[in-house]
Structures are given as structure tokens and as C-alpha cells.
């Protein structure tokens, strides 16, 4: 190890207080979070699933159209 154990401890002593302060701040922030109730969570999850399915269908249709267009162009030029 470059610098040896003493150098490693000096590096630790520089970031350890900042890491501890960060952990304390995260803990304080988590106490302020307003968590959703189960009915709200179920409702939001349902909306997200429906939205993802709609987007998947749209992307699938776009893929189908673009695939047919590209295939048509390739057939036009290859004979």
C-alpha cells in the first residue's frame, strides 16, 4: 500500500466526520418524509402500470410501422 497504514488513517480521518454528518442529515430528512397510505400507494401503482402498458403498446406499434417502412425501402432498392 502506498504510504502505509499511517497514510490510510490520515485519509480516513478526513472523510469520516463528513460521512457521519451526512448519515445524521439523511436520518433527519427521513423523519420529515410523508409516506403514502396503502390505498394511495395501490392507486398510484395501478396508474403507473396502466401508463407503462399504454407506452409499451405505442412503442410496439411504432416499431411495427418503422420495420415495415425500412423493409419496404430495402426491397425497393434490392429488387
**Domain residue extents for the chain:** 1-33, 36-79
What is the share, in percent, of the chain residues with pLDDT greater than 70?
A: 85
Instruction: For 35-57, write each residue's pLDDT tens digit.
Output: 999 999 999 999 999 999 999 99
**Using an 8 Å Cβ cutoff, are 17 and 10 in contact?**
no
Mean of pLDDT over the chain: 89
pTM of the model: 0.58
Predicted confidence at residue 18, as pLDDT, reads 86
Which pLDDT score, from 0 to 100, does residue 17 have?
84
The C-alpha atoms of residue 50 and residue 42 are separated, in whole angstroms, by 12
Please, what's the b/e burial string for 1-37 (b: 16 or more CB within 10 A of its CB; e: otherwise)? eeeeeeeeeeeeeeeeeeeeeeeeeeeeeeeeeeeee
- Residue 5 pLDDT > 70: no
Amino acid at each position: 500500500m502506498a504510504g502505509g497504514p499511517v497514510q490510510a488513517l490520515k485519509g480516513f480521518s478526513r472523510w469520516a466526520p463528513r460521512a457521519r454528518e451526512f448519515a445524521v442529515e439523511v436520518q433527519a430528512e427521513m423523519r420529515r418524509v410523508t409516506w403514502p397510505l396503502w390505498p394511495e400507494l395501490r392507486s398510484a401503482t395501478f396508474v403507473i402500470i396502466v401508463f407503462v402498458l399504454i407506452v409499451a403498446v405505442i412503442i410496439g406499434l411504432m416499431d411495427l410501422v418503422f420495420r415495415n417502412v425500412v423493409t419496404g425501402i430495402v426491397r425497393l432498392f434490392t429488387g
